[in-house]
Structure 1
């Protein structure tokens, strides 16, 4: 089986690299500096399993028809990437792995619903430099959920799960769309490190930042409930802590959030949004916090906190500058 990983940044490189290590025929499709480094020195992965160097093929463009394509580009790049590679993807099984809730429909509009499987990534990956990435959970645990966004397609999920489990812990979701919404609610927080330039661990040392984050989550939860949207527990992203923080008084909720940050460990967790800004790339904020803003407008619910965070993240994208904690507090009042 020929496997193409389209958009081999942090997540794509980790999954594709580990599949190659397991003996699968994998080609990483990515940007030239990363491709050149991988072809020259191999792919370096660092994480709980130690440091490994993997021999894996890499190319800037897809020039063959894969049997399976893992689509790991950012949410804002789905349509353009699929259009560019569409001649090689007809009738190919595609696994979308974006944050947000739009990618399945976007890919299906170009490639057909019958070819789309949806994935929810539950591990943290970080692109360190060309040819090098890291991951932050042991791969004996569930790192990926897969499901059918458009209904049952026989036993293909079982076949795909068996393949992916050679590399990372993979489970099957009975409601993958609900799982995507759960992760979206959790990912509203990624705007906070993106605004401050600090890791989650450092950001949440400040009570003012924790209060802002709690209001951010409460607002998102209120909007999706008003819209009648279902959620489903995702490994590493259970809904119960979000529900509890939304229900409890601020001092209790703030303590819970601080403990959650402390549980992340000593390695700084930046979140995908801040990583994109530091690399000079556009972010997925319009597909996370922006999704809540748009849904709030449809439901007639104000979303001042998420609207502010969309604004602040776009400012950081444009200027490359971050706010101090005091500046963030002033902007949020």
Structure 2
């Protein structure tokens, strides 16, 4: 049960976000099992998870598996997979959850918790991640900055926030999770694609002539679409978005990391989502469309075309 000294946790998606937050929970003494790709699974099972932060590098004990077969009624599931894999994860978890299992979606995009909940027939809590992380090797996660979580309100949210905060993950509960999700989505829309087509860190990206203007156009389009969707955004949304580079200057977006590794991106659930919603409401989103297409073209080209 959430709130006990040791909580059984399944991290579905042993990528940078999953390994970072799962690593902090394992370091705090919880029983953590990662579900991920073979290379990460083998490394974690062989010597634990390497957790690299500004405070130093340490190895934390954890287990890992390539599928959910061994998962049996965990107390908490952190879903950290790409948005395109949401339904696949829901199907893998079906029948393996207990009646009190809490599910937390730490995914990009604004509708993953809704999609998971619809597939599983139970409540899923949304979480917004404000952390810069990357994989430095198999079973080796590196933290670049940030690390806070905002989670939606639910009967389990107070206990979840307490559990996470005790593990060193500053967590707050929001009564307006839709506004928080869209704020994070807009931040991703402003940074991810530009960082990817560079490829460039956030600081380097903002030093490029015209980048700020492009980002401002992205934000303005997103604001219009959010308003049409009935979402209230903070009045200082532009300042919030622009401040991210100062907090995480060395960070390269997850979209950039995906392209450099030759992996599919989540662009269709970021700028692409804004384009689709804009079309539904008759709102032009030319900048978001251009960035979506640019990333799709880069995906088709593969990593070899960006290496030179």
The 3 A distance-change label for structure 1 pair 243 and 2 is closer
Deviation at 1:227, TM superposition (A): 3.3
TM-score (norm 1): 0.82
SS of residue in 1 equivalent to 2:300: helix
Q: Which residue in the other structure is 2:224 paired with? A: 222
- The answer as to 2:100 corresponding to 1:100 is no
SS of residue in 1 equivalent to 2:236: helix
Deviation at 1:319, TM superposition (A): 0.8
Where do 1:62-211 residues align within 5 Å? 62=68, 63-65=70-72, 66-89=74-97, 91=99, 92-114=101-123, 116-137=124-145, 143-148=148-153, 152-153=154-155, 156-167=156-167, 168-189=169-190, 190-211=192-213
Deviation at 1:323, TM superposition (A): 11
Aligned residues, how many?
A: 295
1:196–1:322 contact (8 Å) kept in structure 2: no
The 3 A distance-change label for structure 1 pair 261 and 17 is closer
Q: Which residue in the other structure is 2:286 paired with? A: 304
Q: Which residue in the other structure is 1:264 paired with? A: 248
The 3 A distance-change label for structure 1 pair 158 and 135 is same
1:199–1:269 contact (8 Å) kept in structure 2: yes
Q: Which residue in the other structure is 1:26 paired with? A: 32
For 1:138 and 1:203, the matched residues in 2 are separated by 19
2:11–2:32 contact (8 Å) kept in structure 1: yes
What's the CA shift string for 1:42-70, capped at 9, x where partnerless? 21111222211111111111222212111
What's the CA shift string for 1:166-216, capped at 9, x where partnerless? 221111111112210110111102111111211121121112222222212
TM-score (norm 2): 0.89
Q: Which residue in the other structure is 2:64 paired with? A: 58
| Long gaps (5+) in structure 2 | 1-6
1:3–1:67 contact (8 Å) kept in structure 2: yes
SS of residue in 1 equivalent to 2:71: coil
1:49–1:138 contact (8 Å) kept in structure 2: no
- Structure 1: which 4+ aligned runs deviate by more than 6 Å? none
Deviation at 1:299, TM superposition (A): 1.3
Deviation at 1:241, TM superposition (A): 4.8
The 3 A distance-change label for structure 1 pair 244 and 201 is closer
For 1:36 and 1:132, the matched residues in 2 are separated by 12
Deviation at 1:90, TM superposition (A): 5.4
For 2:269 and 2:8, the matched residues in 1 are separated by 31
Where do 1:11-22 residues align within 5 Å? 11-22=17-28
2:15–2:135 contact (8 Å) kept in structure 1: yes
The 3 A distance-change label for structure 1 pair 205 and 285 is same
For 2:240 and 2:265, the matched residues in 1 are separated by 29
Deviation at 1:263, TM superposition (A): 4.8
Cα RMSD between the aligned structures? 2.2
For 2:143 and 2:245, the matched residues in 1 are separated by 17
What's the CA shift string for 1:5-44, capped at 9, x where partnerless? 0011111111111111111111111110001111112211
